[in-house]
Amino acid sequence: MKRKNGRMKMTQLLASALLLTMMFVSGCSDDQNQPVSPNGGINSVTQSNLLSKDNPGVQRAMEVQNRNTERFLEKHGVVGTGTGMDEEGNPAVIVFTERALGKTAIPTSLEGIPVIEKVVGQVEPVGKGGGNTKSTASKKKPVTSSSTTSTLSTTSRHPRPVPIGISTGNINVCGGGTIGVRLRNGDNYYALSCNHVWGRLNAAQIGESIVQPASSDAGCAKNLTDVVASIADLEPIVHLSTASNLMDATLVATTVNDMSNSTPADGYGVPSSTPLDAVVGMSVQKYGRTTGLTKGKVSAINVTLGLNYGYGTARFVGQIAIEPIRKKAVFVDTGDSGSLVVTGDDSANPIGLVFAKAGSITYLNPIQPILTRFNVVVDGK
C-alpha cells in the first residue's frame, strides 16, 4: 500500500511539473506575439504594424507634422515633410532638405515628437518634361520578356502583348517613362503611368496615341506600328505651391492583345489585384524601364513635397517616400516614372506609382486614390 501511495504521489508531482512547464512555454509564446521595437524585432510584419497609420503614435506624429509643415516649407532649402521613424523605431517627423540646414533651422523635436532632417537634394520628376530624352539601354542588362522567348531590353520594342514595367511614351513627345500596371473596369482594359509621361503635363487630348517603346528609345520617330494604347483620361497637375495634388497620373485605354498584366520574366510577375496602404518599414519592390527590378522600403508616409515641372512649384500631399534597402543602392532612375511599386513579398500588393525622386529617396503617389479617381481596379492575380 505504501509503495502504491508513493507511486501516486510521484505521478502527481510529475503531472504538476509538466503543467508548470506548459504554462511557462505558453507564457514565452505569448511574449513573442507582443509588439517589439524594430531594433529587437522578431519579424518585419510586427515592426511594420507598429508604424501604420492606425498606430496612435504615428497619428500623433502626423498631427505634429501637419501643424508644422507650412512653417518648415517657408524655410529656404526645405522641400518636404513626412512621418517616419527614428533609429529607435519611434514615430518621428521627417524634414526633407536640399542641403544640411542643421539644428538652428530644424529642431530635434516638436511637441515631444522626434524630428529628423534628411538631406535629399532637389526633388525632380523621374523623367522631367515628358520623360527621359536619352536612352540608357546600353547601360541596362537585357532581360527576358514574359511575352517572348527572345532576350530583349526594357527599352526595346516588345512583341504584343507588351509586359508592364518597360519603356513607353506619348507619340507626340520625344521622351518617355514606364508602363505601370494594367487596369480594368468590367470588360474594358486600361493602363496607368504618369501625367508627365503620357499626359504631356496636362496638354494631352483624349485619344492621343501611346507607344511602346517610347519615342526617345526609337530615335524620336513616330511609329504608328508601336501604338499600344490611347489616352482615356488624366488628372491635371496644379502648378501651385499651395496646391494639394494627390497624383501625377494618366489613364490609357488598351486591350489584352496589346498589353499584358505581368512584368518581364526577371520581375515580380503579376501584381495582386488588392492594393495596400503603405506602412513605415514595409519592404517593397518595383520594375521600371531604366533600373529593372529593385528593392526598397517605406521610409515615410503622409509626405508633403513640392517639385517643379517647369511651370512653377507643384505641391503634393499624402505621398509616400521610399529608400533603397542598401546604402548607395538605386531604387529608381530617370525613365522609371510610372513604375508600379508593390510589396516586397510574393503577393506583390500594389502600393503606389513612382513619379519623383531626390537623391536616393523616391516619391510615390498612393495607388488607391488613383484607382478611385479613374474608377478602375488592378487587373492582377
Out of 129-138, 146-155, 297-306, which region has the weakest mean confidence (pLDDT)?
129-138
Q: Is 142 found in the same domain as 234?
A: yes
What is the distance, to the nearest Å, from the Cα of residue 295 to the centroid of all Cα atoms in its chain? 10
User: Is 184 a domain residue?
Assistant: yes
Residues 164 and 265 in one domain: yes
Same domain, 223 and 330: yes
Q: pLDDT tens, 262-287?
A: 999 999 999 999 999 999 999 999 99
**pLDDT averaged over every residue in the chain:** 86
DSSP readout, 282-345? -EEEEEETTTEEEEEEEEEEEEEEEEESSSSEEEEEEEEEEEESSTT--S--TT-TTPEEEESS
Report pLDDT digits (tens) over 49-71. Answer: 458 999 999 999 999 999 999 99
Query: Domain boundary residue among 119, 137, 169?
Result: 119
What pLDDT band is residue 134 in, cutting at 50, 70 and 90? very low
pLDDT in tens, 170-220: 999 999 999 999 999 999 999 999 999 999 999 999 999 999 999 999 999
Per-residue pLDDT, averaged over 141-170, amounts to: 79
Q: CB burial class (10 A; 0-12, 13-18, 19+) of residue 320?
A: buried
312 with 332, same domain: the answer is: yes
Residues 249 and 312 placed together within one structural domain of the fold: yes
Is 263 part of any domain? yes
Q: Please indicate, yes or no, whether residues 137 and 272 belong to a single structural domain of this protein.
A: yes
Confidence band for 142, pLDDT divided at 50, 70 and 90? low
Number of helices and strands in the chain (H, E): 5, 21
Final residue belonging to a domain, choices 94, 119, 144: 119
Do residues 129 and 92 share a domain?
A: no
Same domain as 72, residue 150: no
Domain count, the chain: 2
In which band, very low, low, confident or very high, does the pLDDT at 129 lie, cut at 50, 70 and 90?
A: very low
Q: Is 96 in the same domain as 137?
A: no
pLDDT tier for residue 240 given thresholds of 50, 70 and 90:
very high
If you average pLDDT over residues 304-313, what whole number do you get? 95
Predicted TM-score (pTM) of the model is 0.84
Residue 101 CB burial class (10 angstroms; 0-12, 13-18, ≥19): middle
Alpha carbon distances (Å) from 237 to 78, 243, 285: 21, 9, 26
**Which segment of 49-53, 99-103, 117-121 scores lowest on mean pLDDT?**
49-53
CATH number at residue 282: 2.40.10.10
> Do 90 and 225 have their domain in common?
no
Rounded Cα distance, 38 and 89, in Å: 5
Residues 155 and 268 in one domain: yes
80 lies in the same domain as 220: no
pLDDT at residue 23, rounded to an integer: 41
Query: Is 162 a domain residue?
Result: yes
Query: What integer pLDDT is reported at residue 40 of this predicted model?
Result: 32
Asked if the structure places residue 264 within a domain, the reply is yes
Give a yes or no: residue 206 inside a domain. Answer: yes
Q: Domain with 74 in it: what CATH number?
A: 3.30.300.50
Q: Decide which of 33 and 85 is more confident.
A: 85
In terms of residue numbers, what domain contains 73? 49-119
